């Protein structure tokens, strides 16, 4: 398999000189672009916002978790690892703006990452590390994570695990050994090792200063991981449009000020 990162789709346009150029398509929730689709998406999120406070950046990911699972109670299962609960969102949005790679554990998660609102390369781990898996007997996803880590793929990347607990455990080992993703989004699902793998990731990320978004319990999955990652893209798009600021509040330093028009106060 080629080591070349797989990139997200971009729209090719033709300039007046006849040369093709790539322009970033505007972020659209769930890929909705038609009037009917946008109406459904907006109505759905309006109903979610009736159930989830919208006071912080972290609340945006809590709302997305409810949207992705259809369960209002899921907002209480999301965990944020960082100096404050907004830090993983800020780190993820900055990574999107810096066009850092988005690296998923499996194909299904990669398929759920929006191709709009960002220019980040998007690639999956699965498919790498086949020889390592065969030699050691470890799972293919764990071997894939370790193989990509050998190539320093995860350093500075948005690391996303939506399916495989062993991939989350392997990623935790990599972080413990010095790898530094920009942010981790991990929601592996299942009855075996899923909750434990997320707990270990939280502990390792906290100990090594890596921002992370995870959840507690057995639930999770690829759709949730993709949805949370897409919300990081959405936040980045809002920053680019001047609707959101990633600057931390000055109140901690004793400087009070009124938020600017359109700015989310953190």
Catalytic residues: 67
3-state secondary structure the chain: CCCCCCECCCEEEECCCCCEEEECCCCCHHHCCCHHHHHHHHHHHHHHHCCCCCCCHHHHHHHHHHHHHCCHHHHHHEEEECCCCCHHHHHHHHHHHCCCCEEECCHHHHHHCCCCCCCCEEEECECECHHHHHHHCCCHHHHHHHHHHHCCCCCCCEEEECCCHHHHHHHHHHHHCCCCCCEEEECCCCCCCHHHHHHHHHHHHHHHCCCEEEECCCCCCHHHHHHHHHHHHHHHHHHHCCCCCCCCCHHHHCCCCCCCCCCCCC
């Amino acid at each position: 398999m080629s080591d070349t990162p797989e990139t997200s789709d971009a729209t090719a346009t033709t300039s007046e000189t006849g040369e093709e150029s790539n322009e970033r398509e505007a972020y659209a929730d769930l890929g909705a672009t038609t009037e009917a689709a946008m109406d459904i998406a907006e109505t759905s999120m309006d109903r979610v916002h009736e159930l989830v406070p919208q006071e912080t950046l972290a609340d945006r990911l809590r709302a997305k978790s409810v949207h992705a699972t259809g369960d209002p109670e899921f907002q209480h299962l999301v965990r944020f690892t960082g100096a404050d609960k907004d830090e993983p969102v800020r780190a993820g949005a900055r990574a999107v703006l810096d066009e850092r790679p988005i690296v998923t554990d499996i194909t299904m998660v990669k398929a759920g990452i929006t191709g709009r609102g960002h220019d980040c390369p998007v690639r999956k781990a699965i498919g790498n590390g086949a020889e390592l898996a065969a030699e050691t007997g470890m799972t293919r996803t764990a071997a894939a994570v370790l193989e990509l880590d050998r190539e320093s793929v995860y350093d500075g990347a948005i690391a996303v695990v939506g399916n495989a607990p062993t991939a989350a455990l392997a990623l935790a080992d990599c972080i413990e050994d010095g790898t530094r993703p920009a942010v981790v989004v991990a929601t592996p699902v299942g009855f075996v090792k899923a909750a434990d793998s997320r707990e270990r990731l939280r502990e390792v990320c906290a100990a090594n200063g890596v921002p992370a978004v995870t959840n507690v319990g057995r639930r999770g999955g690829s759709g949730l991981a993709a949805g949370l990652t897409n919300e990081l893209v959405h936040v980045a798009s809002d920053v680019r449009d001047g609707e959101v600021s990633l600057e931390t509040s000055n109140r901690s330093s004793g400087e009070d000020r009124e938020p600017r028009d359109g700015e989310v106060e953190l």
